[in-house]
Amino acid sequence: MAEPIRSPKRPRVALFELASCAGCQLQILNCEDELVDLLQLVEFVYFKEAMTETSDEYDLALIEGSVTRESDEEKLRVIRERAKLVVTLGSCAFPVGIPGLKNQHDLREIETLVYGADSEFFPSIQAKPVDAVIPVDMHILGCPIHKDDFMRVLSALLVGKNPPVPTYPVCVECRLKENVCAYDRGLMCLGPITRAGCGAICPSYGSRCFGCRGLAADPNIPSLEALLEEHGRSGGQVLAEYALYNGYYSTRDGGLKAKVTE
Amino acid sequence: MSTKTVEVRVDYVSRVEGHGNIVVVADGDEVKEVRFEVTEAPRFFEGMLRGRPYDQAALITSRICGICSNGHVLAAITAMEAALGLTPTEQTMLLRRLLLHGETIQSHVLHSYFLVAPDFFGLGSVVPLVETHPDVVRRALRMKKLGNDLCDMVGGRAVHQIAAVVGGFTHLPTPEELLAFRGRLDDAAADLQETVTLFAGLEMPDFERPTEYLSLKADNGYAFFGDQILSSNGETTPVSRYREKVRERVVPHSSAKHCRSDQATFMVGALARLNNGFEHLSNGATQAASDLGMRPGCTNTYMNTVAQLVEAVHCVEDSKAIVTTLLDAGLRPDPPAVEVREGHGVGAVEVPRGTLYHEYGVDGEGKITEANLIIPTGQNLANLEADMWALAPQVLPQGREKTQKAMEMLVRAYDPCISCSTHVIYLDEEVTA
């Protein structure tokens, strides 16, 4: 992966959307200060929301969204075959994000709830992250991705470097910002176990961490459990909160469910 | 007269948000079939919301759509406050309007410059304009950034804001930030004027089809929030009874449900708001409307883009007035104080693409028991197809290519947000296959 993206001309970039809010591709368009320069460095050859022209030849595939239909899996396999590098954008693509909420319900039941007797027109499968279907070279995390993070990763890939990914939790960044701890404000917070890199933006604006970036590399579970005990909260509450963004891996081997006592 | 069957098909219409296809079939000069197919993946939000805490409705529903995320936050909050019997403070309402204006400015600028304008330059995207018209592209980016930075200042970030919650705000902008932003709003006047001049020189296709226009009605001023639905025929309906006015049904070729008012189709969005509230526009916006040839009672759907530009001017001027009011009054901490109770509420907000309805039931523990969400694009889909039926016989004689282009431009004029329309749908008795 340390090879720079080699291309006869500018590296060609394609952006694909699965089930998502399109907020991460919007974040690319929101790079107002960098966009003109970015277009000198790379060539977007597939970006349906912004352009009519399309191409099947690309070096870098950016993928936004969760896998929610069988046809998505086939689409991903074709993309993996064509692209030199596959990078996901945002929480839907990894760890599964809000589309994964439906995994907590009976699929047929919510299909019928929403579309009634016509639900057969709209077949759906359990929501999965992209890397559950094809190998992924890199995840740009967050709901939504941060503009700076996108630019940092793209610049690194263009020169063949591996962009650094924090292994520590959001708590570290939050303390550096000298925020009052969400637990001391009477709130539940997933900062102790969620992977950093967001600058603790949600707690910094008076909210709390909802775990959108997935689990930190080596979450300190004993420390989390001590914190929960101190504030009269349970592991079960953490798992319920965690399922908001992590409704795929949390229930699988090595997921948070196996680590935390309910 | 030829009896040859002609099928015009555009798969995956570009420069709109999400995945939709156009189909027009004609036999000679008789139009046989017209469809706008929506093939976007359904996400079942109404089902996913059940059992989640009341204060997560805004967080979850904002992920329906990144472009309209603040609109969903505000509709969810408004509906939850109705369910819980809360009345927000005046300061909170002013900050919410700022947050909404930021989103409307960025969304309207993105749509008019990046999605619509390339059609008038004969281009597939805005990218070639970076070389040929760099000043135009940089101006568009500056204006979009202004809207996004306004959201950043009020909500913490432009996509999926953080600070606006049920009952108030968890974070307030500082007086210094507000003062600096007022300067930027002043400076935006030149960019707005050049935008008006640019678009005044573009000739919108000539296509008239009268329809019903629906928007919210405010007690005073141009309506972004309100308790009444106003029809262009003069009738009003309380927002709490929106289901009587806005009826949904499932159609097999669309994972987004279609909507009808009584039996007829209707339109929501900038053109509808302008037709219903023209007299409430700011002075600069009224002047912009005049420069752009926009008058109330307009029935040309393509003019929706022009109406958006008029609104962009209005939103900048209204934001300036709000910032001044906030600076004069001084910002006071306004932490949300919420008492959970069983309840049921409807909230409606005028978001960039039209009226957005959220409806929730909440149990005694604050858990969501039911959710209904009605999206502007879903409301417009039936009207779009009615427009396509009317437009097809006018453009088919000009050949396939021109028909295709006219149809694509018509779809783009609605500024459809297909992600939104498919991800939020509810069960209704009227389902027809």
**B125 touching chain A per CB within 8 A:** yes
Q: How far is A62 from chain B (nearest CA, A)?
A: 16
Question: At which of A158, A178, A196 does a domain end?
Answer: A158
Task: From chain B, pick out residues whose CB is under 8 angstroms from the CB of A47.
Answer: 125
Q: Are residues A152 and A49 in the same domain?
A: yes
Side chain identity at residue B322, one-letter code: I
A153 domain-assigned: yes
**pLDDT value of residue B117:** 93
Side chain identity at residue B166, one-letter code: V
Q: What's the half-sphere exposure (Cβ side, CA atoms, 13 Å) at B113?
A: 30
Lowest mean pLDDT among A117-126, A141-150, A244-253: A117-126
Angle of CA points A159, A161, A162, to nearest 5°:
145
Range of the domain at A178: 170-259
What is the C-alpha to C-alpha distance for residues A77 and B407, in angstroms, rounded to an integer?
33
What is the C-alpha to C-alpha distance for residues B58 and B356, in angstroms, rounded to an integer?
13
**pLDDT value of residue B307:** 98
Residues A184-200 as b or e (16 or more Cβ within 10 Å = b): eeeebbbbbbbbbbbbb
Closest CA to B261 of B423, B375, B383: B383
Which CATH number is A84's domain given?
3.40.50.700
Q: Do A109 and B47 touch (CB under 8 A)?
A: yes
**pLDDT value of residue A7:** 53
Residue B409 and residue B51 in contact, taking contact as beta carbons nearer than 8 Å? no
Q: Do A117 and B160 touch (CB under 8 A)?
A: no
The answer for residues whose C-beta is within 8 angstroms of residue B236's C-beta and 6 or more apart is B217, B228, B229, B230
Q: Are residues A196 and A149 in the same domain?
A: no
Q: Are residues A179 and A146 in the same domain?
A: no
Question: At which of A133, A158, A183 does a domain end?
Answer: A158
Number of domains in chain A: 2
Give the chain B residue nearest A185 (alpha carbons). Answer: B170
Q: Do B63 and A97 touch (CB under 8 A)?
A: yes
A90 domain-assigned: yes
Kindly report the CATH number that applies to the domain delimited by B47-423: 1.10.645.10
**pLDDT value of residue A39:** 85
Strands (E), B76-155: none
Q: What tens digit of pLDDT does each residue of B389-400 get?
A: 999 999 999 998
**B148 touching chain A per CB within 8 A:** yes
**pLDDT value of residue B428:** 31
Q: Where are chain B's structural domains?
A: 5-38, 47-423
Closest CA to A225 of A181, A256, A186: A256
Q: DSSP per residue over B334-350, as a string?
A: ---------EEEEEEEE
Residue B1 and residue B17 in contact, taking contact as beta carbons nearer than 8 Å? no
A40-51: average pLDDT: 82
Q: Do A205 and B170 touch (CB under 8 A)?
A: yes
Interface test with B, best of A51, A74, A128 (most B CBs within 10 A): A51
Task: From chain A, pick out residues whose CB is under 8 angstroms from the CB of B76.
Answer: none
Predicted structure pTM score: 0.92
Q: What tens digit of pLDDT does each residue of B9-49 get?
A: 888 788 887 778 899 999 887 899 999 888 766 667 888 89
Confidence of residue B138 (pLDDT cuts 50, 70, 90): very high
Residue B133 and residue B100 in contact, taking contact as beta carbons nearer than 8 Å? no
Q: Do A21 and B63 touch (CB under 8 A)?
A: yes
Q: Are residues A130 and A217 in the same domain?
A: no
Q: How far is A99 from chain B (nearest CA, A)?
A: 6
Q: If you count them, how many residues does chain B have? A: 433
Q: Are residues A36 and A150 in the same domain?
A: yes
Closest CA to B423 of B48, B43, B40: B43
Coil/strand/helix, residue A84:
coil
**pLDDT value of residue B221:** 92
B71-90: average pLDDT: 97
A152 domain-assigned: yes
Coil/strand/helix, residue B298:
coil
Q: How far is A140 from chain B (nearest CA, A)?
A: 16
Is pLDDT at B424 greater than 60 in this prediction?
no
Q: Are residues A32 and A147 in the same domain?
A: yes
**pLDDT value of residue B423:** 43
Residue B154 and residue B99 in contact, taking contact as beta carbons nearer than 8 Å? yes
Please, what is the angle between helix B69-84 and helix B134-155, to 10°?
30
Q: Are residues A145 and A194 in the same domain?
A: no
Question: At which of A137, A158, A179 does a domain end?
Answer: A158
Task: From chain B, pick out residues whose CB is under 8 angstroms from the CB of A30.
Answer: 106, 144-145, 148, 158-159
**B337 touching chain A per CB within 8 A:** no
A163 domain-assigned: no
Is pLDDT at B232 greater than 70 in this prediction?
yes
Closest CA to A55 of A66, A45, A42: A45
A3: Cα separation from own chain's centroid:
24
Question: Which B positions 392-421 lie with beta carbon below 8 A of chain A?
Answer: 419
Closest in B148, B170, B425 to A115, CB measured: B425
Q: What tens digit of pLDDT does each residue of B249-299 get?
A: 666 676 666 777 655 899 999 999 999 999 999 999 999 999 999 999 999
Interface test with A, best of B16, B63, B121 (most A CBs within 10 A): B63
A1 domain-assigned: no
**pLDDT value of residue A2:** 47
Lowest mean pLDDT among A187-196, B171-180, B370-379, B413-422: B413-422
DSSP structural state of residue B367: B
Q: Are residues A94 and A114 in the same domain?
A: yes
A149 domain-assigned: yes
Residue A247 and residue A127 in contact, taking contact as beta carbons nearer than 8 Å? yes
Q: Do B134 and A21 touch (CB under 8 A)?
A: no
Q: Are residues A106 and A189 in the same domain?
A: no
Closest in A51, A104, A205 to B125, CB measured: A51
